[in-house]
Each structure stands twice: as C-alpha cells, then as structure tokens.
Structure 1
C-alpha cells in the first residue's frame, strides 16, 4: 500500500482513428511527408503526439521511408513510434516487431525499449505478470548493452512492481543492487540525484515490506538528511510519511499518530492521504475510539471513489465498514460498502500475489455476492422494485463510463492548470536569487548579486552552461554557488536553470505571439535546451502540463482574442 514512484515510460493511450491507406487524403498527406528526413519526421511525430490521427500518419510515413531505404535501425525506430499510438493489443504487436528486428541493428537502446513498451501495455490491461516479465527482459537487454539511463529507469519499475504485488524479497534485492549503482555515480548536482532519492525512498519501503524496520529507518533518516540538505520539500514529505508508517509498524502508535497529523496539515497527493487516513483509523481503533476510526475509514473510501487506486489494506477498510453497518442493521450502507469491496476484489484479483494464503479474508467474494443478493432482496421489501432498478441502472452506467473517466479527468485537469497558470502569470514577477537573499555572509551576498546579473543577461539560455562554467564566470567556486542556489531558491543548479528557461519562454510566449506557432523543439532551443525531450520534461515539471497542450490553449486564446 506504500506510495511508490513508478518510473514507468509515460505513454498516452489514445484510441486512434484508423485511416485506410487507399484513401486519397491519406495518400496525399503521406506523399507530402516523403521528402522529409528521419530526424524531421521524428520531431514532427513528438510535436503531434497528442493528435492521434496526425501522429499515426507520420509514423506510417516514417515506416515506409525506412522500408524504402532498407535502413534496419530506422525501421526499428518506426516500429517504436507505431507501438505508442494504437490500442494495447496492436501496440504489443509493434513492440514485438521492435524486438524481432533489433537483432539486426547495433543500438544500445534496442531491444530494451521494445520490452519496456510491452511491459507498459501489459500493465495497462492489468496483466502484471506479463508486465514484470517484459520489464525484466528490458533490464537484461539494457545491462548487456551498458545503457545506464535505461537501467536506472527500468530498475525502478521492476522494483516497484515486485514490491507492490508481493515479491518483497526480490524487490529488496533489486533496490539494493540499484542503490549500489547510484552510489557509484556523481549525484550531488548531477542528473541522477532525483533517481538516487527515489531509490532511497523505495528501498526504505521495501525494507518495511520485509518487516526489517530498523534497516528501513536507516534509509529513511538518510533520505531525510539528503532532502533537507537539498531543500527538496517534496521528497522530504515522502520520507517523513515513510517515517510515520515505520513508527506505527514498530508499535510507536502515539508518535505515529502525531507524525501523521502533522503531515495532514500540509497538502498531499490522494494516495498518500488515503494511507494516512488508514493508519489514523488504525490508531483510533487501538485507542477504542470506534467513531473516530470509522470517520478515517470513510475518508479512505471517499478518496478511493475519486481516484480508484487500490492497495491491499483497502480490503480491510471495507471489511470493517461492512461489519460495522451490518451490526447497525443498515442494509443500504452495508450493500454500498459490499459493492466497494467487490470493486477492490476485482482489481486485486488481477494479480495472483494477492490471492495467496497470506491475506486473511473475513469475507470471500462468493459470499459477498450472496450477501449482496440478500441485501437487495431486503431493500426490495422496503423500497419497492424501482429502488433496485435504480441500483442496477447505476451500476451499468458506471461500467459504461469507466473508459471515458481517464480522458475526461485529464482534459479537465489540464484546462484548469492552464487557467490557473495564466491567472498566476498575470500577477507574476520572476523571483530571482537577489530578491530572495537574506544572507549575512559577504561572499554569498556578492555571489547573489552576480547571479542577478547572470539572470538579467539571460546567460541561462546558453545550452552549454554548467555549474562549473557559471562559477568561473562569476569568479567563485562551484560549492559556494551551489550552496547559494539551494539556500535562496530551494532547488539544485539543474532545476534552477531549467525553471529560469521555462519561465523565460512562458514570458516570451506572452509577449511574442508568433512563438505560439513554433514547434516544441524550436521553443526549447530558444532558451537553451538541447532537445525537445529535455524541454518537455522541464516544462511539465514547472507547469504540470505538456508544452503541446499549453501551446494549443495559447493558440485557441489567440484566436478568441482576435475574433
């Protein structure tokens, strides 16, 4: 039930509009793409990734060009694109093609990507065993090819899958091996620092799952120290949460309760909030405060209804609520919680690890179904047949709309984020290092002043800027500069540069409408990013939305303003 940061390849599962190759418009568009280079087609694909129809045409053009040139590596890359835009079943077939043709090319990225894509798609349909099997193959391939970046990403996924679905001892071994790898890398201000903190966090949780609480606490405290020194409030919150769980699991219930209540005073993601309420409920029941325990369990239920992210202890929550309302002779609420328990059951049942004998069940699924029938009959006597039909209709309606929920929520969330960002930026002034400085040390004050000049001269848009290069420019050393940035901005050098770049391009988009028609790669290059992937990642981290969506909304706004 612990919150694991799954570093899964982020793919948008869109249902494509299938276009027959014989259609004239389709053929004409493909012909217009034939003259483009592989590099341009690749950029076009990612720039249009959210437009499924266009992305599909570009991927097909890439595939045809690769076949015509008999370039096996480009052919594999074309299958890579095709494996990201269709239904799960079709994506898996294209991923198989990646794997098949990878044996004929010399690349450190393949066939690992093919196996990772299969793993992602199997995970999407709940086939966790096949997902794990393919991620393991991806790991072996990346290890054989010496691809450190893929190893880091895939290891996190494999460990999280195993830890989440019951293979706790194996997950622990994976995280230990991965931790050793990261310890050998330079992580102080490097690209692996975030992965290092994530691994520390997951390693602490894995020790918890294996009931090695002292070992877990060692990594929790190490994580708290690292996050505190780096002034990373998000990671610090994660480690504090893991610490609160560890306190409960080691029977320090009062201290655990205090820690969870302190965490609740700050915003947290729904999954972590659900876990927090679960443990607060547990503490309440231990203190014979049944009403308070029910209150917290109902909070857990409310969060699950909104987010549908399950974890094993949810079954315990609903079992308790079912028993509680059965004793209170409240068949309506009892039936409601039985239905929720069945939803959790159906989800957990997708993975056999939770069907073993280690899970103690007070109610088996067949018994729940029978109880549900009895309760419906009981309610039928009280509320007549129409009430039951309402229940049946409601359940059918829920089943019909489930596939639409994800897309609806995403569109609503993105639109809200865009509106909030626009409102915020109307009153926003860039917070520079100088404006936040309150440092007594004369040397640090001097560094801050020079960093202000660095920002004003837009030196952060230099694509080759580095901590050492910046330190030399302002006549200091990298340790001092890094400390000043961490102290005044609460972030490391890389995030400081990336945030300045993204904020600058947002400002230019406001002031230079012509930029909204630029491609993502070109926008990134305007402010110093070397490729579109790095720009997109930094943009999303800063704004919580993809640059493609932001540009789309800006274009819509521009049209509305000029009509």
Structure 2
C-alpha cells in the first residue's frame, strides 16, 4: 500500500562486488553517450537489475570523471536500482552527504526516501517515518508538489500500520483536499485515498465516516468505469454491514463480489461471510469459508492477523466434533502464526481483539492430548504424543513468561497514560456538530465538563435519560455530542470516566486498595463486580485485582528504594 515506497525496492540480484562502478567492463560507446540519453535508457528498465546495470555503471563512471555534484548524486540514485538493501543505505548516505545543503526538486529528498524504503522493508516503521518526514521537508523546501503528495501518502500508510489511524486520517484528508487543485493534483489514484480513509475509520470504529468515504469511493470508481476498484469498494460495503450488525445484508454482498476481487482481497470476503454466518448461528456455512481462507493464506504466504481468529474458530469446531487431532493441528498453526506476528508484525496484531489467552490454550491442548492418549493403542503413538506435550509445554512456558513481561510493561504504561489522560480532559471542544445549533451545543459541553470534574459519573443511578434531563436537553442531543466529542457511546463514556477515576484514586488511597472488587466497583458506580472487572479490563487490558497487586508491589519498591 505504500505507493511511493514500494517501487524503489528491487530484488538484490547482484552481490556487493557486482555493484562497484567497474569502468573496465563498460564499453567506450556507453561512456560517450550523454547523461540525458543514459537517463532515458535507464528510466523504462530500472526495475530490471540485469539489463539496467551497464547503463547505471556508465552513468556513475562519467559522473565521477566530471565531478559535478548534482550529476554524481543522480548516479548514486541510479546505483540503488542494482544494489542490495545494505548498499542502498550506503548510496543514500552518499546522496545526503553531497546534497544535504541543496534546495533541489529531487535532492536531498531521494536520499531520505531510499533510507525510508530500506527501513520499511525491515519492519522498522518508526525509523522509516522519521526518514519520510525528512524527505517531505526537503520536498517542501524545493516546492516539489508531486513528491510532497507521495511522502504524505507514504506517511499516512505507515501511520495506519503502526496503529495511529487518527494521524493517518488527517494526512489522507489533506491529500484528498489536494485533488481540488486541478493544476497540481496528487499523482496517485483518488480512489485509493478514499479507500484508505474508509479503512482507517473502520479500524477505529467510526462507522458513519467509514460509510461516507466508502460511498465516495463507489461513486468515483463508477464515474471512471473502474470495475476493479468498484468491486473492491462494494466488497467492503459487505464488511461494513458486518460491523453494523447487518449480517443478512453483508452475506449477499460478500458472495456477489467474491469472484470480482483479487485473490488476497477474497480472503476478506470469506472471513466476513463466515463471521456473519456464525453471528446468525449458521456454523455449517461458516466452516468451509474458514478452511478456504486457511488454504489461500498457506499457499500464498499472506500475513493476515485475523488468521488467529480463524485458527481458534476451526480448533473449537473440531474440538466440538471430537476430532482432537485436527484441533491440535489448528492450535499449532495458531501458535506458529502468533509467533510470526509477534516477531515481525506486532503493529498489525495490536488491534486484534479475538484469540486465545495462553492459559486457555494450555488447558485446551492438554485436554485434546489427553483424549488422543486415551485412543492410543501403541507405544509409538504414545511416545509421539509425549514429545508433543513437552514441546507444547515449552511453548506455553515461553508464552507465559512473555505474558508476564507484557503485563508489567502494560502496567507501567497505564500509570503514565492515565496521568496524561486526566490532564487532557480540561478543555471544552469548539468544533460544531451537524444538526445541533451552536447556542445549544456549547452549554451542554460546558455542563459535561462540570459533570466530569464534579465526578457525577460515580452515581449508580446515572443514565443517559437522567443526565439529559439534568442538563436540560434531550437524550438524542447528548448522545450525539458524546459520540462526536468522546468517540464512544454513553455507556463506554461513563465506564471510562469511572475507570480513569479509580486508577488515579487507587494510587493515593490505601483504603480503596483494601476493598474487595465488588466493594470497589460499587464505590465508583458499578452495580456488579463482573461489570466493573469487564470495564476495567476493556480499558486497561488487565483486571482490577491484578492492577492493585502490582500497584502495592510498586509502592513497596519505591519505599524500599528499589
């Protein structure tokens, strides 16, 4: 998806020695060709390392002989086309060393861009973003609008990968506004920008905005008679219907577009059709789609985070049928795929909510293995299963200790994050909301702020209707304002305020830390301990009892000077 990044990288056919600009192997006829003629030859074949190599080397030899800084920078840029990643990075450094003080439409921009590409391929996304920002600043200084658009697009794509959808959306919107400039519009497809806006809004659960940009994409692709992109947008209409809970509407759309989209996109169709059928209680229709997904992903080597959910669903299906061998097979695939995501694609996994926790996985594996052992009639089978158990226990031990480290890291992040969050809730938003007059909107927002600062959310009797009445408005207005300003519904809004409050209170109030979970939940407005624990976990990814234990341990360590 990284439009301007991906084309830069080529297969590293040549070794490092093959990349040296060896003039002894360059025909004299090429050395007599002008730079412009060489550039015209290189441009259409630059992705063919074997064919382009002699022309690139000739360009470099001429540039070194002439000693012109700009031409030499162009030569180093050409060398990227025939070099492995480690050499690309070195050539990028050479470009930057030569041109760092230039204001030019291509330099030092290209040096930063090459570095960003290499880092992206190594999954070093934060570092790639830093280099892209440098490239964007260079393009701004030189006034190169085309490069500015490309860098904005790549930064937006990377923001989406690392889970910063709000920042990605802001960049994509800026690009989208650029299409209004008829003299210098962005060079890439408007439909792709619309799709990425839809996708990022869907990722953060803002379904109305996702629907808006999806509709825009459908109209744009239709106006261009672009059947491929129109099919992609219409396919995602099925995905959006799934998230809206309209499963009966989702299934026919996903089925209709299944043969019209690319193979990788079809995986999405199978997944959401299966999930829709499961939501409707039609497991028999869902399981074949999940198995087709597995075969496509396995055959093509795709890395799709939702496969963890697929493997869990298939494992549970075969467990219910008593096919413990198939159950174990899918559980092993789950562990293997989970390891790939942890090692290389942790950002893709960050927003995935479904899946096994390790104790649950351990219990299910032990149960499946026990059932298989009961059916085993030979020593060889027994030995095989025992070896499998040992391997699984080792994997589970590794996961257990990793989970402990992650829990401690999450606790430390939670302490810092809640402090920042409380500081950020002091101002009243000033933007308008469609359908609500400004004269009505501002007083409600001010009352909401007073409600938060006055801890009104701690009452067990609070409801949307009662709070609306207290604020002198109606439930529809208040719900709409909370959804717009807070990005969540009323129930989640109240729960999050309570959880933020109790986290801060637990830090300083020893009395609260001694309460039971039930009593602590009642203290901040929850009627049931289950509701409190669920809301706390949803907000913090840990349970209140665990947080309190870690907080007590943290306070003791501070007192002991550890």
TM-score by length of 1: 0.60
Q: Tell me the residue number matched to 2:294.
A: 301
- Report matched runs for 1:88-99 at 5 Å: 88-99=85-96
State how far apart, in whole Å, the 2-side matches of 1:30 and 1:339 are: 57
- Report matched runs for 1:118-133 at 5 Å: 118-133=115-130
- Report matched runs for 1:52-91 at 5 Å: 52-53=49-50, 55-91=52-88
State how far apart, in whole Å, the 2-side matches of 1:365 and 1:86 are: 47
Q: Tell me the residue number matched to 2:253.
A: 259
Residue 244 of structure 1 contacts residue 260 of structure 1 at CA under 8 Å; is this kept in 2? yes
Query: What's the offset of the Cα at 1:377?
Result: 13
Query: What's the offset of the Cα at 1:331?
Result: 4.5
After superposition, the Cα gap between the structure-2 partners of 1:84 and 1:257, relative to the gap in structure 1 and judged at 3 Å, is: same
Q: In the alignment, does 2:270 pair up with 1:270?
A: no
State how far apart, in whole Å, the 1-side matches of 2:246 and 2:195 are: 21
After superposition, the Cα gap between the structure-2 partners of 1:53 and 1:256, relative to the gap in structure 1 and judged at 3 Å, is: closer
State how far apart, in whole Å, the 2-side matches of 1:322 and 1:195 are: 41
Query: What's the offset of the Cα at 1:285?
Result: 0.8
Name which of structure 1's ranges 348-357 and 362-371 shifts more when overlaid on structure 2.
362-371
Q: Tell me the residue number matched to 2:279.
A: 286
Q: Tell me the residue number matched to 1:472.
A: none
Query: What's the offset of the Cα at 1:378?
Result: 6.7
Query: What's the offset of the Cα at 1:276?
Result: 0.7
Residue 204 of structure 1 contacts residue 219 of structure 1 at CA under 8 Å; is this kept in 2? yes
Query: What's the offset of the Cα at 1:53?
Result: 4.5
Q: In the alignment, does 2:102 pair up with 1:109?
A: no
Q: Tell me the residue number matched to 1:222.
A: 216
After superposition, the Cα gap between the structure-2 partners of 1:194 and 1:34, relative to the gap in structure 1 and judged at 3 Å, is: closer
Q: Deviations over 1:409-451 (max 9, x none)?
A: xxxxxxxxxxxxxxxxxxxxxxxxxxxxxxxxxxxxxxxxxxx
Residue 60 of structure 2 contacts residue 76 of structure 2 at CA under 8 Å; is this kept in 1? yes
State how far apart, in whole Å, the 2-side matches of 1:339 and 1:309 are: 18
Query: What's the offset of the Cα at 1:329?
Result: 4.3
Residue 285 of structure 1 contacts residue 293 of structure 1 at CA under 8 Å; is this kept in 2? yes
Q: Tell me the residue number matched to 1:171.
A: 168
State how far apart, in whole Å, the 1-side matches of 2:380 and 2:138 are: 63
Q: Tell me the residue number matched to 2:35.
A: 38
State how far apart, in whole Å, the 1-side matches of 2:68 and 2:365 are: 62
Query: What's the offset of the Cα at 1:197?
Result: 2.1
Q: Tell me the residue number matched to 2:207.
A: 213
Q: Deviations over 1:371-421 (max 9, x none)?
A: 59x9699799439879x99xx9xxxxxxxxxxxxxxxxxxxxxxxxxxxxx
Query: What's the offset of the Cα at 1:20?
Result: 5.1
Alignment partner of 2:245: what SS?
coil
Alignment partner of 2:106: what SS?
coil
Name which of 230, 241, 252 aligns with 1:236.
Answer: 230
TM-score by length of 2: 0.60
Q: Tell me the residue number matched to 1:148.
A: 145
Q: Deviations over 1:53-74 (max 9, x none)?
A: 5533432332232122121111
State how far apart, in whole Å, the 2-side matches of 1:227 and 1:5 are: 20
Residue 6 of structure 2 contacts residue 117 of structure 2 at CA under 8 Å; is this kept in 1? yes
Query: CA RMSD, aligned part only?
Result: 3.8
Name which of 242, 245, 259 aligns with 1:248.
Answer: 242
Query: What's the offset of the Cα at 1:255?
Result: 1.1
Q: Tell me the residue number matched to 1:536.
A: none
Query: What's the offset of the Cα at 1:294?
Result: 1.3
State how far apart, in whole Å, the 1-side matches of 2:276 and 2:308 are: 17
Query: What's the offset of the Cα at 1:102?
Result: 2.0
Gaps of at least 5 residues in structure 1 are 393-563
Alignment partner of 1:274: what SS?
helix
State how far apart, in whole Å, the 1-side matches of 2:187 and 2:30 are: 41
After superposition, the Cα gap between the structure-2 partners of 1:44 and 1:255, relative to the gap in structure 1 and judged at 3 Å, is: same
Gaps of at least 5 residues in structure 2 are 374-378, 392-562
State how far apart, in whole Å, the 2-side matches of 1:23 and 1:175 are: 40
Query: What's the offset of the Cα at 1:302?
Result: 1.5
Residue 139 of structure 1 contacts residue 151 of structure 1 at CA under 8 Å; is this kept in 2? yes
Residue 322 of structure 1 contacts residue 338 of structure 1 at CA under 8 Å; is this kept in 2? yes
Name which of 341, 344, 350 aligns with 1:348.
Answer: 341
Alignment partner of 2:189: what SS?
helix
Residue 194 of structure 2 contacts residue 217 of structure 2 at CA under 8 Å; is this kept in 1? yes
Larger RCO of the pair (alpha carbons < 8 Å, separation 6+): 1
State how far apart, in whole Å, the 1-side matches of 2:18 and 2:300 are: 40
Query: What's the offset of the Cα at 1:281?
Result: 0.7
Query: What's the offset of the Cα at 1:234?
Result: 1.9
State how far apart, in whole Å, the 2-side matches of 1:253 and 1:23 are: 59
Name which of 315, 323, 341 aligns with 2:316.
Answer: 323
Alignment partner of 1:115: what SS?
helix
Residue 127 of structure 1 contacts residue 351 of structure 1 at CA under 8 Å; is this kept in 2? no
Residue 163 of structure 1 contacts residue 209 of structure 1 at CA under 8 Å; is this kept in 2? no
